[in-house]
A and B are shown apart, each in its own frame.
Chain A
Amino acid sequence: MNIATPILAAAMGLAMAGSAYAIDVKIGVLNDRSGTYADLSGEGSVIAAQMAVEDFGAADRGINVEIISADHQNKPDVASTIARQWYDEEGVDAIFDVPTSSAALAVNEITREKNKIFIDSGAASSDLTGAQCSPNTVHWTYDTWALANGTGAAMVETGADKWFFLTADYAFGHALEADTSAVVEETGGEVLGSVRHPFPGQDFSSYLLQAQSSGAEVIGLANAGGDTVNAIKQAAEFGITQSGQSLAALLMFITDVHALGLDAAQGLVLTESFYWDLNEGTRQWSERFAERNGGDMPTMVHAGVYAGVLHYLKAIEETGTIDAGPVMEAMKAMPTSDPLFGEGEIRADGRKVHDMYLFRVKSPDASEGAWDYYDLVYTIPAENAFRPIEEGGCELVE
C-alpha cells in the first residue's frame, strides 16, 4: 500500500489537468476550544479554515476537503493523543493551528514520526523552527523571537531603554524573557532585573510594585493570556503607566485587548503579524470572517490558519498529491501570497516569513468603535522580522 500510494497519486497528478479525478484531503484543526486561548484560536480557526477552502474553490478544482476539529485543552498529552489518533485512525493529512508551545512541540514530534504535515499558527515557541525543527512542520504566524525582536528593538529605538521583566515562571515565559533581553541589550538597552511569577497568577500587584521601584522605563510582560490581562489591569489600577513607565506586552492578541477594554489597555505596545484594519484586503476578509464568528474580528492566529490552508491547498493542486514530501517541497518552493499577509515565503527551516507590525493600543477617545483598537507604529520588514535562519540551530539548514 505504501508503495502503491505515490504511484497512484502520481498518476492522479498527471490526470489532474482539467480532469474530473478528485483528491480527498482531510484537515484537522487542533486547538484550544475551552481554555485560555479558546477565543484567539478555537472555533474561529475552524471558520478560517473553511473560508480558505471556499475561497480557494477547492471543490471546483477537484479537491474534496474535509475539516475536523478537536480541543487539546492546552495539554501536550491530549494534543499528542489526538494527533496520533487523527493520523492513524481518521486519515488526517495535515494538522493546523495548535496554540500552546508544549502542545505544538508534541504535535511536531508525532507529525514527523508519521510523516504528515503540520502548519502551526497559534504557538509561540521559536524552537519549532530551531532546535526542534522538522521537515514536516511550517510555523506560520509569529514566534517568540519575532515578538521579542519587534517589541524589544522598537521600544529601545524610541528611547525607552531600561527594562524590567515580569515573567511567567515556565519555559515559554523564560524563552520570551531571554529573547527580549538579548534584543534589548544588543540594541543598546539595559535590563535592570526581572521577577518570575507562578503560572497562572491572579494577583500581580506585588510584582508590579517591584517593577515600579526598579526605576525601569519599560516593564516587559513575558507572559500570556489571562496573566497578561490581569497584570495590565492591575498596572492601571496602581498608576504604573501614569507615573511614566510603559508596559510592553510581549505576547498579546487583539482578543486580549477586547477583554481588557481600552481604558485599561490604552498606550500598550505590542507586536502582531496581522490586524484586521491594515489594508483593503484584510478589512474585506475580516468583515466576512466576523459575520460568521458572531461579530468578533479575527486574531492573527485565525489569519494564519486561513493563509496556511490556502497555501497548503495550492501546493496540493500544484503537485496533485497529498503526500507530505512533495507537498512540503512545493510549499517551500512556491512564494506565498494571500490578502492577509501579502507576499512571503517559507524558509528551509519551516519558518514562514512576512512583515511584522508594532502597534500601540488606542485611547478610548481615539477609537471609533468596537475592534478599532490599534495604531500602527512601525512595520518590521520581513527580512528583519524573524530570526536569521542560521542562528536557529535547525538541522535542516546546511
Chain B
Amino acid sequence: MTDQTLMDTVETPSAGRPTPLGIPRLHLAICAALVAFFIIGPFFLYPVFLMKVMCFVLFACAFNLLLGYGGLLSFGHAAFFGSASYVSAHAAKAWGLTPELSILLGTGSAALLGLVIGALAIRRQGIYFAMVTLAFAQMVYFVSLQAPFTGGEDGIQAVPRNMLFGLIDISSDNALYAFVFVIVFACLFLIYRIIHSPFGQVLKAIRENEARSVSLGYRVNRYKLAVFVMSTTLAGTAGATKALVFQLASLTDVHWAMSGEVVLMALLGGMHTVFGPIVGAAIIVTMQNYFATFGAWVTVLQGTIFVVAVLLFREGIVGVLGKWLKKPL
C-alpha cells in the first residue's frame, strides 16, 4: 500500500521571524486577536453561546492533534468527550466537588480511557484504526446508556455550578465565562506547544513516513500512543467543561454523530493547520445555533459542507488561507 497520507506533503516555509518565545509573529498576532475576541465577545454576543464555541474549539483542536499531526483518524472521539462530561457532571452533582476538581476528574477519566483504547487501537492503521475507535466508542455509548449513574437518555441534569476552589462564586454566566476562558486558552496554548515541540516534529515525521521513522530509531507506537492519550485527555477537558457550562451531560456527547461532527470541524477549518479547527468549530457551532429553526435542513447543510470541503478544498478554510499567504497557519 502506498503511504499516501492525509497531508499534502508540501514543505512549508517558515512563518516569519520567530519571536523570543519561539512563536512566529503572525501566530502571535492571531493568538492575540483570538484572545481579544473572546474577551470582548460577551459584551456583544450571548456568553453561553461563546462558552459552547470555546468548548468545541478545544474539542476540535484536541481531535486535530491526533488527525492533523498524528495522522490518525479517530471515528470515536465522542467517547472521550462524552465520558468526561458524565464523570465531571456526576462529580459535581452527586459528590458536590468543586468545578476545578470535577473537570480534573473528568479529564483524568478520559486520559485513562484513552490509554486503554489507544493501546489497542494504535496497532492498526488507516481505516482499521478508524473502525476500531468507532467500535470502542459504540461500547462506551452502550455503557453510558446502561450504567445507573448516567441517567440513561435523560442524562445527568441540573448539574450545580459549585464554588470554584470552594471560594469563588461562578454561578453567574459572566463569572463562569472567565473560568472557561482560562481553561480553554490554557489548553490551546498547551496544544500549540505540543505541536511545535521536538515531540511534535517526530510525530510529523511518523505521519509522513512511518517506516523511515522506525529505521531512524523512533519507537513509533509509543509516540502514537502518547499523542492519542494527549488528544483524548484534552478532548476530555472540553467535555468536562461543557458539562458544567450547560449543567448537563447527555447521550448526545457520546453518540457517533458527535464523532462525525468533530471530524467535520477539523476538515472544514483545515486539518493540517493550528488554527483551522478553531475556525471549523466556530462555524459549525454557529451554524447549529442559528439554524436550529430550520430542522432537517441543518443536516443537509452539514452534509453539503462535508461534500464541498472534500471535493474543493481539502486543505480547509485556514489551509487555503495559509497557502494564499504562503505561511503555515
Q: Do chains A and B touch in the complex (CB under 8 A)?
A: yes
B292: which of A78, A102, A106 is its contact (CB, 8 Å)?
A78
Interface status of B169 (Cβ within 8 A of chain A): no
Q: What residues of A have a CB within 8 angstroms of the CB of B299 in the complex?
A: 34
A77: which of B46, B151, B173, B248 is its contact (CB, 8 Å)?
B248
Contact B247 A109 (CB under 8 A): yes
Contact A71 B292 (CB under 8 A): yes
A80: which of B246, B251, B298 is its contact (CB, 8 Å)?
B246
- Asked if A76 meets B157 with Cβ closer than 8 Å, knowing A70-B293, A171-B151, the reply is yes
Chain A nearest CB: distance from B137 CB in Å?
Answer: 16
Interface status of B152 (Cβ within 8 A of chain A): yes
Chain B nearest CB: distance from A287 CB in Å?
Answer: 27
Contact B250 A76 (CB under 8 A): yes
Number of interface residues of B (CB under 8 A): 29
Chain B nearest CB: distance from A202 CB in Å?
Answer: 16
- Asked if A85 meets B155 with Cβ closer than 8 Å, knowing A33-B295, A77-B248, A109-B247, the reply is no
Q: What residues of A have a CB within 8 angstroms of the CB of B253 in the complex?
A: 77
Interface status of B289 (Cβ within 8 A of chain A): yes
Give the distance in Å from the alpha carbon of A78 to the alpha carbon of B255 in the complex.
14
Give the distance in Å from the alpha carbon of A169 to the alpha carbon of B152 in the complex.
9
- Asked if A105 meets B295 with Cβ closer than 8 Å, knowing A81-B48, A88-B46, the reply is no
- Chain B residues 281-329 with CB under 8 Å of chain A are 289, 292-296, 298-299
Interface status of A170 (Cβ within 8 A of chain B): yes
**Number of interchain pairs (Cβ within 8 Å):** 79
Contact A170 B48 (CB under 8 A): no
Q: What residues of B have a CB within 8 angstroms of the CB of A34 in the complex?
A: 295-296, 298-299
Contact B154 A69 (CB under 8 A): no
Contact B157 A105 (CB under 8 A): yes
Interface status of B52 (Cβ within 8 A of chain A): yes
Closest to B292 in A: A70
Contact A84 B154 (CB under 8 A): no
Interface status of B201 (Cβ within 8 A of chain A): no
Task: Please give me the 4 A-B residue pairs with the lowest Cβ-Cβ distance, nearest first.
Answer: A171-B152, A34-B296, A34-B295, A33-B295
Known: A33-B295, A88-B46. 17 other contacts (CB 8 A): A33-B296, A34-B295, A34-B298, A70-B292, A71-B292, A71-B294, A71-B295, A75-B250, A76-B252, A77-B248, A77-B250, A78-B292, A81-B246, A105-B157, A109-B157, A169-B145, A170-B153
B contact set with A: CB distance below 8 Å: 46, 48-49, 52, 145-146, 151-155, 157-158, 173, 246-248, 250-253, 289, 292-296, 298-299
